Amino acid sequence: MTFAPLSRPAPGTGPAADPDSERSPFARLTDLLRGHEPALPLINLSVGEPQHAPPAFVGEVLAAHVADFRRYPLARGILPFREAASAWLTRRFALPRAPDPETEVLVLNGSRDGLFFAASAAAAFIGKQDATILLPNPFYPAYAAGIRASGCRPVYLPTLRASGFLPDLDALDEATLSQAAAFYLASPANPQGAVASRAYFARLAELARRHNFIVLSDECYSEIYTREPPGSMLECAGPDFQNVVAFQSLSKRSNLPGLRVGFVAGDRRFIAAFHDLRNVAAPQVPVPLQHVAVAAYGDETHVEASRDLYRQKFDLADESLGHRFGYARPAGGFCLWLDVSAQGGDEAAALKLFRDGGVRVVPGSYLARRMPDGSNPGAGFIRVAMVQPVDATAEALRRMVRILDSQG
CATH number at residue 63: 3.40.640.10
Residues 81 and 165 in one domain: yes
Residues 245 and 309 in one domain: no
Residues 267 and 367 in one domain: no
pLDDT in the model for residue 134: 98
Residues 335 and 346 in one domain: yes
Quick check: is 13 in a domain? no
**Residue 213 to residue 367: CA distance in whole angstroms:** 25
User: Integer distance in angstroms from the first to the last C-alpha of the chain?
Assistant: 56
Q: Last residue of a domain, which of 281, 299, 317?
A: 299
Residues 65 and 202 in one domain: yes
Residues 313 and 229 in one domain: no
Domain count, the chain: 2
Residues 155 and 101 in one domain: yes
User: What CA–CA distances, in Å, run from 396 to 31, 317, 342, 358?
Assistant: 22, 10, 20, 8
Quick check: is 6 in a domain? no
Quick check: is 371 in a domain? yes
pLDDT in the model for residue 19: 57
Q: Last residue of a domain, which of 268, 299, 330?
A: 299
Residues 168 and 73 in one domain: yes
The answer to whether the pTM exceeds 0.75 is yes
Quick check: is 10 in a domain? no
Task: Please answer whether residues 250 and 293 qualify as being in contact, where contact means their C-beta atoms are separated by less than 8 angstroms.
Answer: yes
Residues 333 and 283 in one domain: no
Quick check: is 1 in a domain? no
**Per-position DSSP letters for 2-71, written without gaps between them:** --PPP--PPTTSSGGGSTTTTS-HHHHHHHHHTT---SS--EE-SS----SPPPTTHHHHHHHTGGGGGS
Question: Which stretches of 138-279 are assigned E, i.e. beta strand?
Answer: 153-158, 180-186, 214-218, 244-249, 262-266
**Residue ranges of the chain with per-residue pLDDT less than 70:** 1-21, 408
Q: Which domain holds residue 203?
A: 58-299
* CATH number reported for the structural domain that contains residue 362 in this entry: 3.90.1150.10
Task: Please answer whether residues 139 and 368 qualify as being in contact, where contact means their C-beta atoms are separated by less than 8 angstroms.
Answer: yes
pLDDT in the model for residue 224: 98
Task: Please answer whether residues 270 and 125 qualify as being in contact, where contact means their C-beta atoms are separated by less than 8 angstroms.
Answer: yes
Residues 197 and 319 in one domain: no
Q: Last residue of a domain, which of 256, 276, 299?
A: 299
